[in-house]
Structure 1
Amino acid sequence: MAAASFLTPFLVLTLVFQYVPLAVLARDSMYEYTLFNPDAATFVGGKNFGRIFTDADTVQSLGVTFVFMAVFLAMVVPLGLLLAVYINGRMAARGLIRTMIFLPVVTSSVVVATMWTFILAQTGLLNGLLTSAGISPVAFLTNKDTALYAIIAMCVWQQLGLAAVLFLGGLQSIPADVQEAAEIDGAGPVQRLWHIIIPMLSRTTVLVVVMMTVFGLQAFAPAFIMTTGGPEGSTNFIMYHIYRTAFFLQDPGFASAISIVVLLFALAISLIQMRLLKTKWNF
């Protein structure tokens, strides 16, 4: 009875704020209506789900999101590992350095996106420095060839601290005598990293990859604040596309269907990653 009394409030909150909204989302995905007149909803069954892979804007948004996720993961995971190895060593003011590295993670995404907009804008700080050096300004956020990568750079900067801290926790759980034995046997820093540290960090890598993948799927603030999905849809992330579909195009039923598909994608990708990175190590 004591356990039930402690668990009940949590279970009720989970039911009300997580599972009930999911049920409502699933219900709405079967209807076609507008937010101006929700009472005039028309039941369309699975029509909204069929539209997802035939609607040009949605297909483009999914493609942009997966490119963003792939490049983002390819940068933040290895950089996070290398940064964790560096800050795990002996250095002065190590605590201060760790705090500075983690600070962008706990900063609001809206604040970070606004700050980077000032830096990367056509008349922003970075282009001001380029102009001072006699270099022509670069359209970081208004050119379809550079806008996506500018946002990726911002997201890597923001999330690198989280990846590093997670890897740091894994590094500190590796027995010191294992690395000492390898060092005595003549293994250099690169050999120890490749043959000892990386294999023993496999479980931590799973956690980092899954968390960064979910972050990539949920990216919204950069597209909303920095580029409004442009130019030419090159930064139209799926979360921004869902928001725009529901509130600007007044098609919340279709937006609900896209949300369910994205949720299933996130679950499937996470399960695949966990399976591929499954390891026997317990560190």
Structure 2
Amino acid sequence: MSATRTLLPDTANARLKKRKPATQRQKRDWLFAAGFLAPFMILLLVFQYVPLLVMARNSVYQYSLLNPAAAKFVGLRNFTDMIDYEDAAASFGVTFLFALGVVLFVIPVAFSLALFLNSRLPARALVRTMIMLPVVTSSVVVATMWSFLLDPSNGLINGVLNLAGIGNQPFLTSTSQSLAALIVMTLWQQVGFGAILFLAGLQGLPAELTEAARIDGATKRQVLWNITIPLLSRTTLFVVVIMTVFSLQAFAPAFLMTQGGPQESTNLIVYHIYNSAFIMQQAGYASALSVVLLLVVLVISMIQMTLLRSRWNY
């Protein structure tokens, strides 16, 4: 018994000595991680979260950027003005219609391109390069290029239409065609990003399910509709949410191509916020619009977290 009692303290001391280096190593790892993360967290705090708080505070004030010291507290007046004024509702309506058009066209085209890239057909490398170039190209460059293409008099697209026997189309100067033109331009730029996301989802599907279905006699179309598409439900919802949020925040097309016209048919909400703050000098009202837009984006993100809980697990 005495020998056992004398050995127990020594064993405990040995265990404590072994734990100390591990604890010191963990502290050192935490310090290294904090050192690497600190610059990013500081930038994120200074350039994102602090401006959000300032924006929320400014939304209850009425002031001009030319004289911010003369700010006047108005409470929720800026938010009630959105209901009284028709421009805010019209701008949100145009933006939602733009986002709906982008999503409805991007999803099937991106999925088709992903199926092509996931196959063993030739020219896959060339197609990958072609669809990714617009994604990595600046939105300013893309908008400027499409402005030349859609020029109502000397644009390349109207030149092709004239060769086909179709007259010149107004495109960006038409209230019925301008928003559709912006949707087509956005589709051309963003379809590559959606295709890459779908391709990643396709490559993550279990191959044994497809092989088992083909052994049972299922055709390619049956495999696509009954196996591939259901298993890609999470990827599809993710692409839908990403494209929707991107479309709600679109600014360059309206600013560079149409300036919100004609007759505010392309007055996207972010361009309306810019116009209210810097042209109309209604910074408080613009901040209130930004707060509402932020809430809309947050609601969509919450819907994403709910819908991504799919019953298809693999």
Q: Which deviations, in whole Å up to 9, do the C-alpha atoms of 1:68-102 show, x marking residues without a partner? A: 11121111112211210111100223222211111
- The residue that corresponds to 1:55 in the other structure is 85
* Matching residue within 135, 149, 158 for 1:105: 135
> Is 1:80 the equivalent of 2:110?
yes
> Is 1:262 the equivalent of 2:293?
yes
Q: Distance in 1 between matches of 2:292 and 2:186?
A: 24
Letter in 2 for 1:40: A
Q: Distance in 2 between matches of 1:182 and 1:51?
A: 59
Structure 1 unaligned blocks of 5 or more: none
Which runs of structure 2 are paired with 1:228-243 in the superposition (5 Å)? 228-243=259-274
Structure 2 unaligned blocks of 5 or more: 1-29
Worse overlay, 133-142 or 147-156: 133-142
Q: Distance in 1 between matches of 2:85 and 2:187?
A: 30
- The residue that corresponds to 1:207 in the other structure is 238
Answer yes or no: is the 8 Å Cα contact 2:238–2:304 preserved in 1: no
Which runs of structure 2 are paired with 1:147-162 in the superposition (5 Å)? 147-162=178-193
Provide TM-score, normalisation by structure 1.
0.96
SS at match of 2:275: helix
Larger Rg: 2
* Matching residue within 257, 275, 297 for 1:244: 275
Answer yes or no: is the 8 Å Cα contact 2:63–2:283 preserved in 1: yes
Answer yes or no: is the 8 Å Cα contact 1:203–1:282 preserved in 2: no
Answer yes or no: is the 8 Å Cα contact 2:139–2:252 preserved in 1: yes
> How much is the aligned-residue C-alpha RMSD, in angstroms?
1.4
Letter in 1 for 2:187: V
Provide TM-score, normalisation by structure 2.
0.87
Q: Distance in 1 between matches of 2:230 and 2:144?
A: 39
Answer yes or no: is the 8 Å Cα contact 1:202–1:278 preserved in 2: no
> Is 1:7 the equivalent of 2:37?
yes
The structure-2 alpha-carbon separation of the partners of 1:228 and 1:133, relative to structure 1 and needing over 3 Å to count, comes to same
Letter in 2 for 1:228: Q
Which ranges of 4 or more aligned residues in structure 1 deviate by more than 6 Å? none
Alignment coverage as a number of residue pairs: 283
SS at match of 2:84: coil
Q: Distance in 2 between matches of 1:108 and 1:189?
A: 38
Q: Which deviations, in whole Å up to 9, do the C-alpha atoms of 1:130-149 show, x marking residues without a partner? A: 22333211111111011101
Identity %: 57
Report deviation, 1:275. 2.0
Answer yes or no: is the 8 Å Cα contact 2:241–2:304 preserved in 1: yes
Q: Which deviations, in whole Å up to 9, do the C-alpha atoms of 1:145-200 show, x marking residues without a partner? A: 11101110110111000000000000000111111111111222221111111111
Which runs of structure 2 are paired with 1:1-283 in the superposition (5 Å)? 1-2=30-31, 3-123=33-153, 124-283=155-314
